[in-house]
Amino acid sequence: MRKNLHHLLIWLFMVIFPISLFAQNRTVTGTVTAGNNAPVPGATIVVKNTSQAVASDGNGKFTISVAENADLIISAIGYKTQTIHVSGNSLQITLAEDVSRLDEVVVTGLSTTVKRKNLSNAVSVIGAKELSGTAPAQTFDSALEGKIPGANINSNSGSPGGGVSVKLRGVTSVYGNTQPLYVVDGVYLDNTATSGGLNAVTQAGATGTTSTQDNPSSRIADLRAEDIENIEILKGASAAAIYGSKASGGVIIITTKRGKQGKTNISLSQDIGFLRPIKLLGVRQFTAETAGSLSRDPATSAALTSQFTAAQSKGEIYDYEKEIYDHTPFTRNTVLSMSGGNEKTGFYFSVAQKDENGLVQRTGYDNTSVRLNVDHKVSDNIKLGLSTNYVNSSADRGLFGNDNAGVTTGIALSSTPDFAQLHPDAKGDYPNNPFAASNPLQTIALMQNNESVNRFIMGANLDVILQKSNRSNTKFVGRGGFDFYNLQTNVLFPSVLQFEAINKGESIQGSTKNLNTNYILSLVNTFTPSDKISLTTSAGITQETGDYNNLLDVATQVISGQSNVDQAGALNATQLRTKYLNSGIFIQEEASIVNAVTLTGGLRLDRSSNNGDVSKYYYYPKAGISWNLTDMGIVKQGLFESIKLRAAYGQANNVPAYGSKFTAFGVSNISGFPGLLINTQEGQADIKPERQTEFETGIDFSLLKGRLGFELTYYKKNISDFLLLTTPPPSSGFAQEWQNAGNLTNSGIELGMNARPVESKNIVWNTSIGFWLNRSKVTKLNVPPVQLGSVGGVLLGEYQIEQGKSATQIIGLNGTGVGVLGNAEPRFQMNTYNEVTFFNKLSLRFLIHWKYGGQNVDVTQLQNVFGGTSVDYDKPTASGLPYGVTQLMKVGSDAHQTVETSTYLRFREIGLYYTFKNLPVSYVKSVTVGASLNNYITITKYKGYDPEVSNFGTGFSQGIDIDPYPSNKRAALHVSFNF
């Protein structure tokens, strides 16, 4: 194969012809406007068959020098591309709005693009306005929520600093990576969640310093949404095969803003706002009698009763839930951006600073980001683009979630009644909480759980035209970059904390360095033998590396007031490294026939140092066809603006986790003797990547000159040899073993509609509606059913991977035994994004998201029942027993009460903006003011804080709800000045 490839590369050079340059002898000026005579800034004007291009300025004006009889191609995002013949020296170009977005350019290869109307996949695109222009979210990842048809996106918790799980078209892996690959301007971003070591205190996972339940943020949250021009989402292998071994979770391609030729544009925007809790659960109102009933021991019961009466007489009854969560913290965000350029060089520069407090005292998030994107034309044939981004972010996340030590805020609150006395005395000393292992007020006031990141991302993009003739055009495209960050985690529990009686103070300091690099070198040839046919051939090589190094020091018996790990009586250090190198070769051929039929075929070969066989190439083919019936002339343009049939097929894979091929020893020391103890994980020397095969087909059509467009898609994904950490019999000495354990399928539909129901001189209403659903099934499993995501096993509900069943089923006790109680997969989801513009100045935008069906394992409310503090504990029931008691009686025989439907209808974003133009001061072009609400209205019957929750992180086990940081809703005022 390798040899053949080289033949092919040589062939590519055979078709190269010398470049012939056009004579330039005429200067023309022009104005680009939209239908309503508003200027279109940033439109690209290209002289046909040349690389000569300019952009329109803020007033839509441009100047270009062209040859006699030249044609100009004018394109702008959101408008239909137009080709005009140059006649005269002054041009007036009116662009038609591309309501159905047929002319939008979409990435289809590693170095090629295609117009949407010729696309064989359903690729979702999110523009800047939808991403951050309505009601900005705290972090980039949460800004995606509810916006991608075919995706199941879920916040992990309300902790400041993000942490969102994104699953495109169902679960694509069980134990492998389920998250998509994020590519920013050609750089593959690292999205590792690094634990700060909270497990050392919470013991939420069985052993060790870290667990998946430590609620770390996701590193993708570091990005600033304001810098992003658009996002393209390749949802499965049929679109993403060319990304090979990292693409099985889909690929999210992020393009940041770039400078365009023209007057320098400066924009300063300022947001201020506040957060509120979405919901509080409420607390039980105790009476002397119910206080006494907390214990069945007569003496204890009497003591509790007298405690209650004493507290009541002093007026010392507190709603601690309110006291801890019911705050209105302040948020602010400032963004200054500049963009501009001349014919050779363009730049985009931004500096942004965000500071948000959290609902809980001493938590919060801040992020400072600087971006500089520079594009430079070395010559007519050589273009260089650089993207650089520095981010400094810091999140104080508090102590929340699952816990087996009674220390997290929610768990401690669950057993603390309203007559408990937790407030500090006059000296500031907090009393011990007799009802739990910790005093949450003390914990919040004194502990620290901070993640701070310094991150530098740099990408470079080199386009060299090697050859150009009337029929053939060959270029070299090189893309690459690196993503480096240093993450410090700082977790501190001073010795005075109630639960530090044994460890006498803990300081857990983590330091993580991560460097990812990647490059793509490719040759792209476009061969146009006639007007009717065009062939684009691309071929190249890729390489990705990752090097992750995490040091975690757990110091105990920390000297009072100190946090350095050496200021301690004992120190326990761990280090974790992972390193990989993936390399690939790809070739892709796209053929466009009479501009109506597009055929795509591609092949990627990939190998990875994580595979059992490091030298073996795995191959991933893809193929696609799109057939535009209107462009073909089969259906006359009229009612239909465009009808397109499309089908695509592709394969991608997911490499095994680092180290899954080794059976290793862990360190287990005793009395100063270094010890080696076998790890719980048995290695699989011949581990293979899991392979995904996806087929999708659909029909896209637009009516009424594009005012109404539909996109209907069906897909089926087969994941074969999926990676599973199986549970061998523990008597083998191993608790886990990596296996390529079986096959699963996902199939689903995605329906999209774009419409412009109202288009008048003064009012324009654009709307889009999405509907999507996914169903999964485990078609083969070589091992006995495997349970995951267990908080309390079948007692409370857990996931079970089982042949013939949905991959996301939740099983549990059903009253007569163990049965299926639910499924994390929603029955369907819908969203609608709307923008209504009045008089071209006032804009109302809103996004509504409806998730119907799907269950969570909601332990939060039951935890309060266990602790005797649930708000409806004393509610009378038909049986005469209080409601709380009836709930407790079900535990052990019926888990229906914890496997809870998480349907919700959420007004994700509402924004109202007004733009002032024609201002009295000439140097201010426009001022926009606005107000926005984010996640402000949620309609749900769900009993926990938020139906959108996933306390076990971004892996497979979504929707576990166990005393998370309560979710917030956001309100903000915005003002931005354009200079």
Partner 1 sequence: MQKNIKIYSILFLAASLSFTACKKDYGNLNNATVEDLSKNASQSELNNLVSGTESGMRNALNFYLDDVSIIGRETYRFSGSEPRYVLDLLGANSAQLTGDNFYISFPWAAKYKVVKNCNLLIQIAGNSSLITDAQKKGYIGFARTIKAYQLLLNLNLTYTNGIRVNVADPNHLGPIVDYNAGLTAITALLDSAKNDLSTATVSFPLAGFAGLDDAAGLTKFNRALAARVSLYQKNWQTALDDLNASFFRLTTNFNTGAYHMFGTGSGDQLNPVFIPQNQTGEVRVAHPSYAADIATGDDRINKTSLRTSPAALSGLSSDRDVWLYTSSTAPVGIIRNEELILIYAEANIQLNNFVEGVKAINVIRNGHGLGNYAGAVTQPALITEMLNQRRYSLFFEGHRWIDLRRYDLLNTLPLDRPDDDVWSLFPLPVTEH
Query: Which of 117, 607, 851, 969 is in the footprint of partner 1 by CB under 8 A?
Result: 607
Distance from chain centroid for Cα 534: 36
564 binds partner 1, rule: CB under 8 A: no
In our burial notation (b when 16+ CB lie closer than 10 A, e otherwise), range 766-787 reads bbbbbbbbbbbbbeebeeeebe
Closer residue to partner 1, CB minimum distance, 569 or 633: 569
Dist. CA 633–CA 628, nearest whole Å:
9
| Binding status of residue 113 toward partner 1 by CB under 8 A | no
Q: Is 629 or 891 the residue whose CB approaches partner 1 more closely?
A: 891
Q: Which residue has the tokens 């100009």?
A: 72
Element holding 94 (H helix, E strand): strand 90-95
Q: Tell me whether residue 23 or residue 299 sits nearer to partner 1 (CB atom).
A: 299
271 vs 403, which CB is nearer to partner 1? 403
**Of 21, 23, 426, 670, the one binding partner 1 by CB under 8 A:** 670
Q: Kindly tell me which of 787 and 840 has the beta carbon lying closer to partner 1.
A: 787
The Cα 194–Cα 854 span in angstroms is 28
Residue of 272, 465, 466, 924 interacting with partner 1 (CB under 8 A): 466
Which one, of 659, 748, 670, lies nearest residue 172 by Cα? 748
As measured in angstroms, the least distance from the Cβ of 312 to partner 1 is 20
Tokens (6 digits) for 16:
């190269």
Taking CB under 8 A as the criterion, the residue among 24, 392, 511, 583 binding partner 1 is 583
Q: Which is nearer to partner 1, 739 or 774 (CB)?
A: 739
Q: CA 49: distance to chain centroid?
A: 39
CB of 116 to partner 1, least distance (A): 32
Provide the minimum distance between the beta carbon of 412 and partner 1 in the complex, in angstroms, as a whole number.
8
Q: Restricting to residues 371-430, which ones interact with partner 1 according to CB under 8 A?
A: 403-406, 411-412, 414-415
Chain positions 206 to 235 lying near partner 1, rule: CB under 8 A, are 206-207
**614 near partner 1 (CB under 8 A):** yes
Based on CB atoms, which residue is closest to partner 1, 529 or 784? 784
Binding window for partner 1 (CB under 8 A); candidates: 318-326, 568-576, 819-827, 950-958: 568-576
Residue type at position 308: F
List 59, 287, 295, 567, residue binding partner 1 (CB under 8 A):
295
Interface residue with partner 1 among 531, 638, 673, 923 (CB under 8 A) is 673
Half-sphere exposure of 826 (CA within 13 A, CB side): 25
Among 83, 564, 575, 877, which residue sits at the site for partner 1 (rule: CB under 8 A)?
A: 575
* Assigned token pair, 228: 């992003």
Q: Counting contacts by CB under 8 A, is residue 469 touching partner 1?
A: no
**447-458: burial string, b at 16+ Cβ within 10 Å, e else:** bbbbbbbebebb
615 interacts with partner 1 by CB under 8 A: yes
Residues in the chain: 979
Q: How far is C-alpha 747 from the geometric centre of its chain's CA atoms?
A: 22
Identify the CA nearest to 50 among candidates 29, 68, 32, 71: 71
Write down the least CB distance from residue 266 to partner 1, Å.
41
Contacts of partner 1 in 296-325 (CB under 8 A): 296-297, 299-300, 303
Interaction of residue 721 with partner 1, rule CB under 8 A:
no
Q: How far is the CB of 688 from partner 1 (least distance, A)?
A: 15
Q: Please give the Cα distance from 830 to 150 (Å, whole number).
A: 10
- One residue of 424, 529, 633, 666 binding partner 1 per CB under 8 A: 666
x-or-dash string of contact with partner 1, 433-452, rule CB under 8 A:
xxxxxx--------------
Query: Is 644 exposed, middle or buried (CB count within 10 Å of its CB: 0-12, 13-18, 19+)?
Result: buried
Q: In whole angstroms, what is the distance from residue 888 CA to residue 865 CA?
A: 7
Distance CA 806, CA 854 (A): 12
Strand partners, 793: none
Q: Given the structure tokens 């599973």, which residue do they identify?
A: 724
> CA angle, corner 915, sides to 257 and 225, nearest 5?
30
Give the total of residues touching partner 1 (CB under 8 A): 107
Among 310, 496, 676, 919, binds partner 1 (CB under 8 A): 676
Least distance from partner 1 to the Cβ atom of residue 440, Å: 11
Shortest distance, CB of residue 437 to partner 1, whole angstroms?
Answer: 3
What residues are paired with 184 via a beta bridge?
187, 254
DSSP class of residue 423 equals: S
Which of 733, 757, 815, 819 is in the footprint of partner 1 by CB under 8 A? 733
How far apart are CB 414 and partner 1 at their closest, in Å?
Answer: 8
Check residue 94 for interaction with partner 1 (CB under 8 A).
Answer: no
Measured distance CA(288)–CA(311) in Å, rounded: 10
Output 16 or 591, the one with its CB closest to partner 1.
16
Asked whether position 663 contacts partner 1 by CB under 8 A, the answer is yes
Query: How many C-beta atoms surround the C-beta of residue 92 within 10 A?
Result: 10
For residue 298, the surrounding DSSP H or E stretch is helix 298-313
CB 737 within 8 A of CB 783: no
Question: Which residue, 403 or 858, has its beta carbon nearer to partner 1?
Answer: 403
Instruction: Identify each DSSP E strand in 306-423 by its residue range.
Output: 330-341, 345-357, 364-379, 382-396
Q: For residues 909 and 765, give the distance between their C-alpha atoms in angstroms, rounded to a whole number.
A: 17
What angle (nearest 5°) sits at the alpha carbon of residue 295, between those of residues 292 and 299?
75
| Shortest distance in whole angstroms from residue 459 CB to partner 1 | 19
8 binds partner 1 (CB under 8 A): no
At 674, list the tokens: 């270094």
Given candidates 4, 69, 731, 816, which one binds partner 1 under the rule CB under 8 A?
731
Q: Identify residues 538-557 at the interface with partner 1 (CB under 8 A).
A: 541, 543, 556-557
- Here the tokens at position 358 are 């959290």
Binding partner 1 (rule: CB under 8 A), the pick from 667, 919, 939, 973 is 667
- Residues 877 to 916: which contact partner 1 by CB under 8 A? 889, 891-893
Q: Which of residues 784-823 bind partner 1 (CB under 8 A)?
A: 784, 787, 792-795
Residue with smaller CB distance to partner 1, 312 or 727: 727
Phi-psi map region of 839: left, alpha, beta (phi>0 left; psi -120 to 50 alpha): left
- Candidates 24, 680, 803, 886; binder of partner 1 (CB under 8 A) is 680
Which residue from 6, 314, 636, 761 is in contact with partner 1, where contact means CB under 8 A? 6
Question: Is residue 513 involved in binding partner 1 (CB under 8 A)?
Answer: no
Element (DSSP H or E) covering residue 11: helix 2-14
924 near partner 1, judged by CB under 8 A = no
